Amino acid sequence: MTQVAEPEAKRWVGGGILRKEDPELITGQGRFVDDIALPGMLWLAFVRSPVASATIASIDTSAAKELPGVQAVLTGQELADDWALPLPCAWPIGNRTNFEDPDDPRTPDHWPVVKDRVRYMGEIVAVVVADSREHAADAIEAVDVDYDELPVVTDMMEALEEGSPVLHDDLGSNEAYTWGFTNGDVDRVFAEAPVVVKERYYNQRLIPNAIEPRGVVVQPIPAQGEFTIWSATQIPHILKVLLALTLDINEAKIRVVAPDVGGGFGSKLNVYAEEAICLAVAKRLGQPVKWTEERSENYLATIHGRDVIQDMEVAATEEGKTLGFRVKLYADFGAYMQLVTPGIPILGAWLYHGVYDAQAYGFEATGVFTNKVPTDAYRGAGRPEATYAVERIMDTLARRVGKDPAEIREMNFIPPFDEAREVASGLSFDSGNYHATLEKAKQLAGYDEVRREQQANDGRRDGKLLGVGLSTYIEMCGLAPSQTLAALKYGAGGWEAATIRCHPTGKVTVITGTSPHGQGHVTTWSQLAADALGVEPDDVEVLHGDTAVSALGMDSYGSRSASVGGAALYKAAEKIRAKARAIAAHELEVAEEDLEWKDGKFQVTGAPDRAKTIPEVAFTAWTAHALPAEIEPGLEATAVWDPPNFTFPSGAHICVVEVDPETGSTRIDKYVAVDDCGTVINPMIVDGQVMGGIAQGIAEALYEEALYDENGTLLTGNMSTYRVPSAAELPGYVLDRKVTPSTTNPIGVKGIGEAGTIASPPAVLNAVADALRYVGVEFIDKPASAERVWRAIQQAQGQAPPDRAPSGGGTGAASMTPEEEGGVA
């Protein structure tokens, strides 16, 4: 077991100090990209395709160019030479069905502006540059584009069929890849198992909806070939590298700044066409440029999430002991591969057994191109899909073998462990105690009482259908060991960096390579540094999100920031303390071994009044009047932490719902979450992450779905048709936790950014499904909107109304009940 070494006293870690970020944000002094205005700044606006599939016959920009204030109108052909490379896909996964097969990446060229063929509604076909937001908006209306429309395919299963319109002719089909692996003899286990249960789930297409739309400002210094790029991004460091490559600009001449960023949820984890175009136009014209995304534009211009069909199977004994898990999934990638599109299913690939024991495991994913907005990372990315399938099939298995969903989980949990252990998929989990989290959640939710109430009242409460649902989830975060990423063909490392600079005045600057956008790193990093250096959090300034300030960074996504970036900070503090110890020993005229780090200072063993603090040592290191030989002046250190493994947060969520059988609407009566995110740095912030995550998952479970018609038109094209829930639709939350420190990093942190969103959809759906049992509904899928639930009830009662057009991949409610497809082998 890795030693979870905590030599410093914990004065601040674990305490809920108020956020240092807040004063500016509650007074209107936040600085978001759209708040930036530069002298001589030009505005960009984009002509976007209103059709989903077409070749461009002609573009007439002459009328637009005549409008007042218009500086330039540029087409894809005119900009073609501005790109050294297409937009990057950093995770080009190829066809393979086991690890030994050669890769065959099928990454289609994706140009920032369409050259000749449009593949989804919203794709950029021309760029307008004008002297104001309004003039740019007026000019895009005057660009005349003649489209020769082509056949459209929006359903991923149809897209795989012979004879379907093919999006990328050079690839010959719409199959992006088929990738999978097995662990153990999965075919034998499934052939011999007494019980096999199989269901099909659809993780509908979602629109991330960070409340701040994206935006870009570029300021060039033409005479120097320099560019400063402000972008509403989660990944300033990665963006710098990839824009340098895409436009063949000296990376050392590019500075990327992510100022205050208004939420991301994965949607700002990308290299977008608009970022490349703004840079290209600033380079061409030598003037500052700005683009601010409108919300309806965001729905077409920013990645969507999920859109995954899963055929999920579990093999078990007659008693319900799980023997094997197997999934075949289809992921709708939309029209192109964005930054990590192909990798999203892979992020869940090892988790389709959840927290349950099994002998065998199989995973296979097929990625598919369709005429829709590209999908990519959306909060949880691959892990919500896995958790949804596992947690729902466990309920189906429970019904099949006649057990309570809680009992089926308890009998199959991996036993408690505090040292890394291998699980069915072949991964090594860090630590966990799944029984304890579920037990705690059951008590908080009054699980047994709800079950008794259901039994006593035939599943009714005041005329409503009462249901309770569980989700004992696991996730994999802390991306990631660089060598593991190499094996998975990811194009970068998974390390994170931190620098600590101790000033002679006793103040401390921490520079982190993470790039927060709401997570409160400034506060939590201050707490970590304060404990590690024996100072107060208010003495610590945390800088981030500017590549000119933080040279090294891999940015924020995948719940990695605390477990990787926090560990880097811990390591940097170790270096500071090592140097400070030598200086302190020299000053106190004792041997280094005679000093102990206690109560935030170096004390002479046995003579605690003889001591030096880090601020005192920092002053000595700055004056450099009395340093030991070989010790350089100054007290500053940088550390880069490359994690040896992922981390595995887990927990138990329980949802109690009341479903109105007349309207189909669901009211969440109680939502309980017991999470194990390892060591907690700031409980207030952790709770905030959990609550926000749950809310996003409930939105996915009950409300949100991006819908396309058969022509590839996005039907939910703005915020009034795509239903982001408000406070009125969402419940309060009851939170608790269980702490099993991670063995992956020295601070014991696992990560909490995505847990709520990963856990909650199956908890809600299992609850709705549980309630609907009482009216004979066999199956219900996400989103369990009032309409879908009402239709399911009508159908179950033999009053089948015509279903509306099938959503997403056309398989939304398709299911195979165990009676039809599973059963005794």
Partner 1 sequence: MRRIALTVNGIRREAEVEPRLLLVYFLRESLGLTGTNVGCDTSSCGACTVMMDGKSVKSCTVLAVQADGAEVTTIEGLATDGQLHPLQEAFRKNHGLQCGFCTPGMIMAGLGLIESGASMEDEDVRLGLEGNLCRCTGYQNIVKAIQEAAGEMRQPAPAAQPAAVQGGSE
- Chain residues that interact with partner 1, rule: CB under 8 A: 18-19, 21-32, 34-35, 37, 133-134, 209-213, 260-263, 265, 292, 294-296, 517-520, 670, 683-688, 691-696, 718-720, 724, 726-728, 730, 732-737, 756
Nearest to 10 by CA among 750, 748, 649: 748
Per residue, the 3-state secondary structure of 695-714, as one string, reads HHHHHHHHHCCCCECCCCCE
CB of residue 334 to partner 1, shortest distance in Å: 22
CB of residue 509 to partner 1, shortest distance in Å: 22
Euclidean distance between CA atoms 85 and 242, whole angstroms? 10
CB of residue 479 to partner 1, shortest distance in Å: 21
Pairing verdict, β 117-118 and 508-512: unpaired
Euclidean distance between CA atoms 539 and 527, whole angstroms? 10
Residue number, 299 or 325, with CB nearest to partner 1: 299
CB of residue 3 to partner 1, shortest distance in Å: 25
CB of residue 433 to partner 1, shortest distance in Å: 17
Residue number, 189 or 522, with CB nearest to partner 1: 522
Q: In 245-377, which ranges are E strands?
A: 254-257, 289-292, 305-316, 322-334, 360-369
Euclidean distance between CA atoms 621 and 500, whole angstroms? 14
Residue written as token pair 């440029």: 289
Give the gyration radius of the chain's Cα atoms: 28
Residue 458 CA to its chain's centroid (Å) = 40
CB of residue 108 to partner 1, shortest distance in Å: 31
Q: Name the 3-class secondary structure at 477.
A: strand
Residue number, 26 or 487, with CB nearest to partner 1: 26
Residue number, 132 or 457, with CB nearest to partner 1: 132
Residue number, 629 or 727, with CB nearest to partner 1: 727
Residue number, 362 or 692, with CB nearest to partner 1: 692
Q: What single-letter DSSP state applies at residue 451?
A: H
Q: In this structure, what token pair is assigned to residue 326?
A: 């197997």
**Residues near 421 by beta carbon (within 8 Å), at least 6 away in sequence:** 414, 428, 429
Q: Name the 3-class secondary structure at 248.
A: coil
Residue 680 CA to its chain's centroid (Å) = 20
Residue number, 24 or 318, with CB nearest to partner 1: 24
CB of residue 586 to partner 1, shortest distance in Å: 43
CB of residue 749 to partner 1, shortest distance in Å: 16
Q: Name the 3-class secondary structure at 438.
A: helix
CB of residue 443 to partner 1, shortest distance in Å: 12
Euclidean distance between CA atoms 179 and 642, whole angstroms? 27
Euclidean distance between CA atoms 210 and 270, whole angstroms? 14
Write the single-letter amino acid at 382.
G
Residue number, 412 or 559, with CB nearest to partner 1: 559
Residue number, 26 or 57, with CB nearest to partner 1: 26
Residue number, 555 or 574, with CB nearest to partner 1: 555
Residue number, 362 or 697, with CB nearest to partner 1: 697
Cis peptide before 783 (omega within 30 of 0): yes
Distances in Å between the Cα of 158 and the Cα atoms of 31, 45, 365, 425, 710 are 46, 34, 16, 30, 11
Residue number, 732 or 802, with CB nearest to partner 1: 732
Per residue, the 3-state secondary structure of 110-133, as one string, reads CCCCCCCEECCCCCEEEEEEECCH
Euclidean distance between CA atoms 376 and 388, whole angstroms? 18
Residue number, 32 or 619, with CB nearest to partner 1: 32
Q: Is the dihedral of CA 596, 599, 602, 607 positive or negative?
A: negative
Q: In this structure, what token pair is assigned to residue 771?
A: 């309630």
Euclidean distance between CA atoms 524 and 534, whole angstroms? 15
Residue number, 26 or 85, with CB nearest to partner 1: 26
CB of residue 91 to partner 1, shortest distance in Å: 25
CB of residue 36 to partner 1, shortest distance in Å: 9
Residue written as token pair 């402000």: 230
CB of residue 685 to partner 1, shortest distance in Å: 7
Distances in Å between the Cα of 461 and the Cα atoms of 74, 455, 662 are 63, 11, 14
CB of residue 688 to partner 1, shortest distance in Å: 5
Residue number, 265 or 641, with CB nearest to partner 1: 265
CB of residue 290 to partner 1, shortest distance in Å: 11
Residue written as token pair 């939420």: 263
Residue written as token pair 């250096």: 533
Per residue, the 3-state secondary structure of 486-524, as one string, reads HHCCCCCCCCEEEEEEECCCCCEEEEECCCCCCCCHHHH
Nearest to 388 by CA among 766, 131, 734: 766
Residue number, 108 or 756, with CB nearest to partner 1: 756
Write the single-letter amino acid at 125.
V
Distances in Å between the Cα of 571 and the Cα atoms of 63, 500, 542, 575, 621 are 60, 10, 16, 7, 20
CB of residue 23 to partner 1, shortest distance in Å: 7
CB of residue 657 to partner 1, shortest distance in Å: 15
